[in-house]
Chains A and B, each alone.
Chain A
Amino acid sequence: MKITLFVPCFVDALYPQVAISTVRILEKLGHTIEVAEDLNCCGQPAFNSGCWAEARPVGERVLDRLRDAETVLIPSGSCGAMLRRFYPELFAGTPHEAAARALSAKVFEFSEFLVEKLGVTDLGARFPAKVTYHDGCHSLREMHIQSAPRKLLARVRDLELVEMKQVVCCGFGGTFSAKFPMISTAMGEVKCSEALATGAEYIVSCDSSCLMHVQGLIDRQKLKLKTIHLAEVLAAGMDAGYRMPDTGCRIQDTECPDTNEDGRADE
């Protein structure tokens, strides 16, 4: 299958290893990857801020670029929700409505694509750690992704998944985190304490934007927790001896998380 990868701006700039892991996994499964190199933004920040007039031109560019794509994959539930759930609303009653609906039907988030579309749950990954899973709200409630990431984690060798007691938002919410920083921070603190209560070393999620918020709090408050995207967990131990390229990120070798020195968290 030919897969067009849409890499959101923050994944490109801050978490390249998420997209690299996605590419490696899909290539290993024998698919051809095309990266939509000229696409970086889905327009969600403007859309969620009420500026639909500013979000539309961004969206139109995406619709145009992805018109002929067979399948579009986004390693972010939040951006996926924007394309699948909100574009049809954003473009309702405009000449682009049909294109928005057509795109909506062929957009997938990473974990649901593997499980629902490809029927894959075991990638042969090994990740010796106790982890908890964070449901990004857009993934959970707009994309209805709940079981797919858990099915994938269940097949990772030496990984123990412990669920948090509450399914609760991490407090990021895009521009909300800047408009109401203290409420957002309080929500993040609740999330961290839920995760800490499980005794997990890692919070795994399909949403790097949530993890960015949580990691920001973890670093500031020096909590004994780490965050990692599901794609990185699944890429771990895929080919023995494979080393991730040096992207400057703290977890460079997802193959052996134990040997990775994450200064503050491991202290």
Chain B
Amino acid sequence: MPTPVTRFKSASRVLARDLRHRDLIQSALGKYEIKRDEMKARFQDWQGARQTAAEIKYEAINHLDRYLTEFVTKLEARGTKVHWASTAEQARQIITGICRDRQAKRIVKSKAMTAEEIHLNEVLEKAGFEVVESDLGEFIVQLREETPYHIVFPAMHLTRGEIREVFQRKLGDAPSDNPEELTMVARRVLRKKYVEAEVGITGANFAIAETGMISVTENEGNARLTAALPKTMITLLGIEKVLPKLADLALFLPMLATVGAGQLISGYNTMYGGPRQSGEADGPEEFHVVLLDNNRTVMLADAEQRDALHCIRCGACLNVCPIFRNVGGQTYGTTYPGPIGSVITPHLRGLQEWKHLAFASSLCGACTEACPVKIDLHHHLLQHRRTARAEKPVWWEKLAFRGFALLVNTPWLWRLSLAMGRIGQEFHGLVKGTKLDPAYVWTQSREAPPLAKQSFKSWWRNRQ
């Protein structure tokens, strides 16, 4: 039976040597980096902005109880129905229940990673609802029956040709592989869906405690249509999305746009404060907010890694991660790929089953440097390794490290092994790079470094 680790290993082996994939991602993210750096340069003090953002999130997460209560009280005051979901299952039941009660048939959805996390589409479709993703990238991966590749750019791994192919196959309409024409095809299909849908489901980028509002950031206007046209609006969000004050958005919106997509500010930034109020011309008749825990409180209880709840899902850590860039987002087999996924998935879904993600890292720290809210990502991977091994020691590994320490720290044993190694490497050529090679994991793709004829310490002793 394939397990998460065997699936990860076999998928990563394939993708890591797929040069077409490598070039595609390197070039897409290379362009992103240029725009991101241009936008970062427009901040007076980028490092100062990161520090401020981290402090705001620190305050929000450390007083989550207070801010959540404030957020919910304000929201309810304007007629919003708030639901608390401790588990993914509860959230699915709440949302399916609302759709059933409204006798809905068709649901339109804008991008929400939280919905991916609870596998909402699958459940709604099984319950007989038609669910259509309205974000273009999500729409494309939905047509291809795939999971998103990236938390911000779900279809970044696809070429125009591949998008044209799926449009042709599933929609019967793809005049060319011109991006504008393809977008128009999607638009024609989606516009109809917004009008027909009885329920619209959105995610949220931020939840403002002070005013009881949901903030949604997007570039296509699809989230606005998803929220405004159907009679019932449902917003699903994790409890960690809360920010204390409305003014905090003055920092977080440009910051998210900068590191998320290399934009000064996203195309559309909308605040939702409740259902249509009396005298208002538009907006949903009903507004439901589903607050999801799903083990976030477990993370909150972990003093060492609590800052992982600072995450604003910008994708900056994915974009700079050399592992992500070489294995791609779908290889992880998680909702959240890349460094942040490797940090939070063990909390969300179990450390022993997902610890391999913490080991699948060179601990280079590019993620930590890129994170706009200063999550100590790569050190958390190191802590996951420690906790995983402390919980469930691997006896041969313990033995190997004890043996290694003994070998390198006992001078005569070290000298002896160097001498034997020098003899051994003369014969290495016989098996080098084959499966008989004891160094196969290294030599299958790299040459082994030759041992020096004289070690430094031997040189030093002779010189004294």
Contacts and interface: CB of A to CB of B under 8 A. Distances in A.
A187 B327 CA distance: 10
A172 B408 CA distance: 21
B12 A14 contact: no
A23 B462 CA distance: 14
Interface string B49-89: 00000000000000000000000000000000000000000
B453 interface: yes
A241 interface: no
A15 B408 contact: no
A195 to B, nearest CB: 15
A176 interface: yes
Given A54-B402, A220-B445, 18 more contacts: A12-B455, A13-B455, A37-B461, A38-B409, A48-B382, A50-B385, A50-B389, A54-B398, A168-B366, A171-B362, A173-B362, A176-B360, A180-B12, A182-B16, A186-B16, A187-B322, A247-B453, A248-B450
Contacts of B418: 13
B22 interface: yes
A19 B456 contact: yes
Interface in B408-445: 408-409, 411, 414, 418, 421, 441-442, 444-445
A40 interface: yes
Interface stretch (A98-106, A153-161, A211-219): A211-219
Interface residues of A, number: 70
Nearest to B460: A35
A178 B362 CA distance: 11
Nearest to B321: A169
Contacts of B456: 7, 11-12, 16, 19-20
Contact of B13 (A20, A178, A182, A247): A182
A137 B457 contact: no
A35 B386 CA distance: 32
A58 interface: yes
5 contacts: A40-B409, A41-B409, A182-B16, A219-B447, A249-B452
B404 interface: yes
A97 B245 CA distance: 41
A46 interface: yes
Contacts of A7: 456-457
Contacts of A141: 364-366, 368-369
Contacts of B42: none
A217 B441 CA distance: 13
A213 B405 contact: no
A53 B394 CA distance: 12
Interface string B298-333: 000000000000000000000000110111000000
Which of A11, A15, A17, A51 counts the most chain B CB atoms within 10 A?
A51
Contacts of B421: 13
Contact of A217 (B9, B384, B446, B459): B446
Contacts of A215: 447, 449
B359 A179 contact: yes
Contact of A183 (B26, B326, B405): B326
A174 B448 CA distance: 14
Contacts of A172: 362
Interface in A1-49: 7, 9, 11-17, 19-20, 23, 35, 37-41, 43, 45-46, 48-49
Contact of A178 (B387, B388, B442, B447): B442
Interface string B338-365: 0000000000000000000001111111
Interface in A171-224: 171-174, 176-188, 190, 212-213, 215-217, 219-220
B401 to A, nearest CB: 4
Contacts of A177: 362, 441-442
Contact of A14 (B9, B398, B451): B451
A69 B362 CA distance: 31
B390 interface: yes
Nearest to A15: B452
B452 A216 contact: no
Chain A facing B: main interface SS: helix
A122 interface: no
Identify the 6 closest CB pairs spanning chains A and B, nearest first: A173-B362, A248-B453, A50-B385, A216-B446, A50-B389, A169-B364
B448 A216 contact: yes
A250 to B, nearest CB: 8
Contacts of B12: 180, 182-183
A213 B446 contact: yes
Given A52-B390, A181-B445, A217-B445, A46 B362 contact: no
Contacts of B45: none
A142 interface: yes
A20 B453 CA distance: 14
Interface string A115-136: 0000000000000000000000
B405 A57 contact: yes
A32 B447 CA distance: 37
A135 B366 CA distance: 12
Given A16-B459, A176-B360, A50 B388 contact: yes
A138 B411 CA distance: 27
A17 B402 CA distance: 28
Contacts of B361: 173, 176
B397 interface: yes
B454 interface: yes
Contact of B449 (A58, A166, A180, A216): A216
A176 B385 CA distance: 12
A61 B409 CA distance: 9
A37 B411 contact: yes
Nearest to B21: A186
Contact of A248 (B387, B402, B454): B454
B408 A9 contact: yes
B187 interface: no
A246 B453 contact: yes
Contacts of B445: 181-182, 185, 217, 220
Contact of A16 (B368, B384, B455): B455
A190 B63 CA distance: 43
A93 interface: no
A263 interface: no
B454 A245 contact: yes
Contact of A40 (B323, B363, B408, B459): B408
A12 B454 CA distance: 9
B459 A212 contact: no
Contacts of B384: 50
B386 A50 contact: yes
Interface string B130-141: 000000000000
A186 to B, nearest CB: 4
Contact of A41 (B16, B390, B408): B408
